[in-house]
Chain A
Amino acid sequence: MGVLNLIFLQPILNFLLVLTNVLFGNFGLGVIALTIIVRLIMLPLTWMQLRSGKKQAETMAILKPKMDLLKKKYAKNPQKMQQETMKLYKEAGISPMGCLSSPMLLSTVIQIPIYFAIYRAVLQALAATPQDFLGLSQNLYSWSMANQGLPIAGQFLWLNLAQGDQFFVLPILVGLIQWVSIKMTVQPSTDPQQQSMNSMMQIMMPIMMAFLTMTMPSGLGIYWLLSQIITIIIQYFIYGWGGLVAKAPAPEAAARPDGKTANVKASAKGGETGSGTRQLKGDGIGFGGLFNRFKPKQGDKDKKGKAD
């Protein structure tokens, strides 16, 4: 933990405090500036992660008919089916490891400790009790700019940044933005099972994020909100508005059995191979790559067309 603090937490914490000091001692502005700067620095990684996920999802969609055939063919021989599936993956040049494959693994591994460090830096900077302050003192550099603004003034707009939002505005905003982000990435489907899962995802995640925002200091909520908005902007440039505007495929189209409508078929049977979530970048804390194993559906092309 000491090494992680040294490498990640301390630089980010001190940078956040310097930013706060520069921005008139306003911690809310400091968090906003830090979030934008970090997300800009991480943009190539995030972009690479999203593009890689999209490419993999598209390839998987193309392979779907062949995989369905394999499933039928080797229904009674799972071992053989696995071997053939692997062979298929290899020929297509995709990793069976999904999100654990490079470069997604690389970007995820790099991003996770940074986002956790931001998370902890915001909490530590908002030290409220003497114990918190003693802990904070052990992670500060000797920079006068980092020490001058302490203790942090917790007021920003209507918020006390060290406490949860008493008026619940911030949790509602975080939940709403989270919903938009997921809606952009969840693929409409005619499959009831998949629809059920999509609905659960679209409802549960915003609620969960809103609840977390409610339970955490508002300073963290501001970070989540802004980070989420930035994620949506990046998603837009790669996927367009996605599920926000895409319609569910017509049942008759989805039911067509021929291999030429692979994507439609994949959409209809999405429940067999995973959830309908093709891309889930909207976690707001940089774990998008972890959710990239879910297969693409018909709406991909629609979205791609709109984005282009």
Chain B
Amino acid sequence: MMLFKRKLPRFPRALLLLLVTAIALTAVACTSAPSRGWTGPLVSGNYVYVGTVQGNILAYDINAEGKDWVESVAKRGTTGFGCSGGVSTASGIYGTPVLRKDKLYIGSYDGSVLWIAVDGTSVTRSTFETGGKIIGSVAIDGDTLYVGSSNGNLYALDLNAPDLGSSLKDGWPFETDGDIWCTPVVQDKVVYIGSADHYLYAIDSESGNEIWRFETEAAIMSTPLVANGRVYIGGCDRNFYSVQAATEDERVAVAAGDASTVRVAEAVFPEAKNWFWTQALAYNDQIWVGCLDGNVYVLDPEDLSQIDKVTTKGMVYAPPVSLGGMVIVGSQDGSIYIIDPNTREFEAYAIDSKSYAPLKAPEKPKSNPAPILAPMFADEASGTLYFHAQDGYHVLYAFKLSTREILWHFRTDKIK
């Protein structure tokens, strides 16, 4: 009875305050975004291939307007506890699939490169482990696949090898001192890749020898553009550069054992207010490049002087594309900007993520706008723009440019 009569100690106010503080701290700490990924669509024939937030590759049948098949790609798992686990969890897909000879190639955030053979209904797979997270897409040139990894290595895989797991070519990987988050670009047997070690590299695609390197003042996360005999690259130093591309003579000399050289910039555009994190577009004798400051800069390809700029209301992370004589820009503000390349006048269409209907700006979406972060696919043959918007729902859209209407939409986050 004494036990029941005894007054229990009051919960100390200090402890209560501490509990509240701990909960608040935990809530604030969990602002770190999970690695959910964003992938752009690839259109081939009647199919759209796209990665999903659950780490799957989805094949969407355009004619049937529905899922054809779905295959799990990214491994799942957590390490550590709570938020720290959330930070380190490897899942999701950031790269866009690449199709070659009925095989889809994809790099996953869990560090693996794999292909999925698509022969109608059956799906098989083979993987190569890089050991670092893969953020960019793979690039295929002939029978070789190139992929960069967050462990700082650029890999070259022989696609004729019976198994992807043992397909690493001699002389590779090419090692850098920083994370590689961008997609390699292959042009005239030269691979161009940027690294977080501040360098842009030109590498002989066969031997894996470095031809030259170009130093910027910060990490390079954007994918280079090779055009007009130059390499255009933007960095986290807020500068956009043009550098002379590697020549065949340089490549042959390096392959024969000559030492690499150091490039200097031909021109610099230093006016941006934030990082460049997307590949530029060469169109209409202009260079179009999106910036995280919300602008799309239109630059002279020779001296990178600014011709014009188009301002969006969000970060421009998805590369601009050309379609039907227009330049299309997707923005984090959830709008598609259809820009006349000659006058730079534009129409902006926000996508309402509830009605899935395009709303002409400045009308605001009724619900949350759907940020467009992944690369878009412009299908010139059908005049259709395919894009994958990542709001809470993750929706794949087909947008008819001529009529400015959504042909269809498909929620990819519901796919299991």
Contact = CB atoms under 8 A, between A and B. Distances in A.
Q: Do A and B bind each other?
A: yes
Interface of A: 116, 119-120, 123-124, 126-135, 137-138, 140, 142, 144, 147-148, 150-151, 160, 162-164, 166, 193-194, 196-197, 200-201, 204-205, 208, 212, 214-218, 220, 271, 274-275, 277, 280, 283, 285, 287, 290-291, 293-294
Contacts of A271: 9-10
Contacts of B21: 283, 285, 287
B31 A215 contact: no
A203 B275 CA distance: 47
Interface in B1-48: 7, 9-10, 12-15, 17-19, 21-22, 25-26, 28-29, 31-36, 38
Contacts of B12: 197, 200-201, 274-275, 277, 294
6 contacts: A123-B29, A130-B35, A150-B196, A164-B84, A215-B84, A294-B12
Contact of A130 (B18, B28, B135, B238): B135
Given A128-B35, A293-B13, 10 more contacts: A128-B87, A130-B135, A132-B33, A134-B277, A134-B332, A138-B274, A201-B14, A216-B83, A280-B14, A285-B21
Nearest to A293: B13
Contacts of B36: 131
B364 interface: no
Nearest to B272: A142
A209 to B, nearest CB: 8
Contacts of B15: 200-201, 204-205
B94 A151 contact: no
B218 A144 contact: yes
Contacts of B88: 128, 160, 162-163
- 8 closest pairs, A vs B, by CB? A215-B82, A131-B33, A164-B84, A164-B80, A275-B12, A291-B14, A215-B81, A129-B35
Interface in B50-65: none
A133 B276 CA distance: 12
Nearest to A129: B35
B10 A197 contact: yes
Interface string B305-332: 0000000000101000000000000001
B84 A218 contact: yes
Contacts of A200: 9, 12, 15
A163 B28 contact: no
Interface of B: 7, 9-10, 12-15, 17-19, 21-22, 25-26, 28-29, 31-36, 38, 79-85, 87-88, 94, 135, 178-179, 181, 196, 198, 217-219, 221, 236-238, 273-275, 277, 292, 315, 317, 332, 373
B3 to A, nearest CB: 14
Main secondary structure of the interface of B (DSSP, over half): loop
A216 B83 CA distance: 6
Given A116-B28, A162-B88, A193-B7, A212 B13 contact: no
Contacts of B9: 193-194, 196-197, 200, 271
Contacts of B13: 274-275, 291, 293-294
Contacts of A133: 221
B110 to A, nearest CB: 13
Nearest to B179: A151
B18 A208 contact: yes
B17 A287 contact: yes
A294 B36 CA distance: 47
Main secondary structure of the interface of A (DSSP, over half): helix
A119 B25 contact: yes
A151 B218 contact: no
Given A129-B87, A277-B14, A216 B29 contact: yes
Contacts of A142: 238, 273
B121 to A, nearest CB: 34
B315 A134 contact: yes
Contacts of A205: 15, 18
Contacts of B196: 150-151
Nearest to B219: A150
Contact of B79 (A116, A134, A163): A163
A135 B87 contact: no
Q: Which of B25, B135, B315 has the most CB of A within 10 A?
A: B25
A147 B235 CA distance: 10
A212 B25 contact: yes
A148 B28 contact: no
A136 to B, nearest CB: 10
A290 B32 contact: no
A116 to B, nearest CB: 7
Given A129-B33, A204-B15, A147 B237 contact: yes
Contacts of A120: 28, 31
A130 B35 CA distance: 8
A147 B317 contact: no
B226 to A, nearest CB: 23
A218 B82 CA distance: 12
Contacts of B31: 120, 123-124, 135
B218 A147 contact: yes
Contacts of A140: 274
A47 to B, nearest CB: 21
A273 B221 CA distance: 60
Q: Which of A130, A151, A294 has the most CB of B within 10 A?
A: A130
A193 B15 CA distance: 15
A131 B92 CA distance: 12
Q: Which of A132, A197, A217, A287 has the most CB of B within 10 A?
A: A217
A46 B19 CA distance: 22
Nearest to B80: A164
A215 B28 CA distance: 13
Given A130-B94, A132-B32, A291-B14, A164 B81 contact: yes
B232 to A, nearest CB: 20
Nearest to A131: B33
Nearest to B34: A129
A285 B25 contact: yes
B218 A119 contact: no
